[in-house]
């Protein structure tokens, strides 16, 4: 497989709707529940065309990603998923490991009966997406990892929480919008949330990265302190076929600068 080993830097531009492909007017969202291996997942769908499956970070929920979903749905079929133990999906009797989430995600994608899926993961769900694609990717044709956990050089819960707090303070509008989703998860899925906070701080996925054979885009915020940019470079070296795009913003640049992220994603899958 041809290697893609470049790093591309994107300009700052304006936030949100004013760069890249414009924001679509909110179209009809289609809501579905799918049960896989005894765990129910809530998903929302918009648009038509090439399928993009977005795994919402389990620290928030699919509603956090709605502006990005509407934007991508102008040119693709977008399915955003609340993983079990998050959002409107089923509660878990006990927290899952990232490995178990990866196995569940493979089964979930098989249930969708779609071909040539672009699988997108962000933060904690980035590690899950990588594990889902490792080994036997099935219908996954491309992988997009946005500021994923699992490749940080210094891994400790206090260090990551401090950095995450700083990123949140410097992303105030998003933090205000996402706060109810985060708090809702704490109330509905407390054990899973605490496990995700710990796992996201301590996870290591570099040893599984060589098993990912599909083309991969590492989409990183230039000023991410939670998962600094050098993590993207470590993943790039470990993945067989990977490119890096560096966008404006921080850990959640795919949401705070969604037009720039959408442009990079759509160029990758074109």
- What DSSP letter does each residue of 142-166 carry, written as one string? EEEEES-SS--SS--HHHHHHHHHH
Q: At 31, is the secondary structure helix, strand, or coil?
A: strand
Predicted confidence band of residue 21 (pLDDT cuts 50, 70, 90): very low
The mean-pLDDT minimum among 9-23, 48-62, 85-99 falls in 9-23
119/142 Cα distance (integer angstroms): 6
The mean-pLDDT minimum among 6-10, 80-84, 234-238 falls in 6-10
pLDDT value of residue 27: 57
Q: Which domain holds residue 178?
A: 7-269
Residue 5 has pLDDT above 90, yes or no: no
* Residue 95 placed within a domain: yes
Residue 185 has pLDDT above 90, yes or no: yes
* Residue 1 placed within a domain: no
Predicted confidence band of residue 2 (pLDDT cuts 50, 70, 90): very low
- Name 148's Cβ contacts closer than 8 Å, sequence gap at least 6: 121, 122, 123, 126, 127, 129, 130, 205, 218, 227, 231, 235
pLDDT value of residue 110: 95
pLDDT value of residue 156: 86
* Residue 2 placed within a domain: no
For residue 209, give both structure tokens: 């990265």
* Number of domains within the chain: 1
Backbone phi and psi for residue 258, each to the nearest 5 degrees, phi listed first: -65, -30
* Structure-model confidence comparison of residues 185 and 155, the more confident one: 185
* Structure-model confidence comparison of residues 19 and 29, the more confident one: 29
Residue 90 has pLDDT above 50, yes or no: yes
Q: At 169, is the secondary structure helix, strand, or coil?
A: helix
pLDDT value of residue 97: 97
Among residues 96, 97, 83, which one has the least CA distance to residue 41? Answer: 83
Percent with pLDDT over 70 in the chain: 90
Averaged over 73-83, what is the pLDDT?
A: 97
Predicted confidence band of residue 136 (pLDDT cuts 50, 70, 90): confident
* Residue 89 placed within a domain: yes
For residue 52, give both structure tokens: 């993009």
We report the CATH number of the domain holding residue 118 as 3.40.50.1820
**Cα pseudo-dihedral 191, 192, 193, 195, rounded to 10:** 90
| Strand pairing category for 216-221 and 51-55 | unpaired
Q: How many CB atoms lie within 10 A of CB 141?
A: 18
* Structure-model confidence comparison of residues 53 and 3, the more confident one: 53
Asked if residues 109 and 53 have their Cβ atoms less than 8 Å apart, the reply is yes
For residue 236, give both structure tokens: 């790039």
Helices (H), the chain: 66-72, 98-112, 124-133, 157-169, 172-188, 190-202, 230-238, 253-256, 258-269
Residue 235 has pLDDT above 60, yes or no: yes
Q: At 254, is the secondary structure helix, strand, or coil?
A: helix
The mean-pLDDT minimum among 9-23, 177-191, 210-224, 234-248 falls in 9-23
């Amino acid at each position: 497989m041809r290697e893609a080993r470049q790093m591309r830097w994107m300009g700052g531009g304006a936030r949100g709707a004013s760069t890249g492909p414009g924001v679509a007017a909110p179209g009809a969202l289609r809501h579905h529940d799918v049960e896989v291996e005894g765990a129910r997942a809530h998903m929302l769908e918009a648009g038509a065309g090439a399928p993009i499956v977005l795994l919402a970070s389990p620290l928030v929920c699919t509603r956090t990603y709605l502006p990005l979903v509407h934007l991508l749905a102008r040119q693709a079929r977008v399915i955003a998923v609340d993983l079990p133990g998050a959002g409107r999906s089923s509660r878990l009797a006990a927290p899952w490991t990232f490995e178990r989430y990866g196995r569940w995600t493979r089964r979930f994608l098989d249930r969708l009966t779609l071909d040539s899926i672009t699988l997108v993961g962000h933060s904690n769900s980035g590690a899950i997406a990588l594990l889902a694609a490792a080994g036997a990717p099935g219908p996954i044709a491309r992988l997009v990892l946005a500021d994923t956990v699992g490749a940080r050089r210094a891994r400790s819960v206090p260090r990551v929480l401090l950095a995450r707090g700083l990123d949140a303070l410097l992303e105030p509008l998003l933090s205000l919008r996402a706060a109810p989703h985060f708090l809702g998860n704490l109330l509905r899925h407390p054990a899973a949330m605490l496990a995700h906070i710990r796992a996201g701080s301590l996870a290591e996925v570099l040893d599984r990265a060589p098993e990912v054979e599909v083309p991969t885009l590492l989409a990183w915020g230039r000023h991410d302190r939670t998962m600094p940019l050098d993590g993207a470079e470590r993943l790039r070296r470990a993945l067989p076929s990977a490119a890096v795009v560096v966008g404006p913003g921080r850990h959640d640049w795919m949401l705070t600068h969604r037009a720039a992220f959408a442009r990079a994603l759509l160029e990758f899958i074109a």
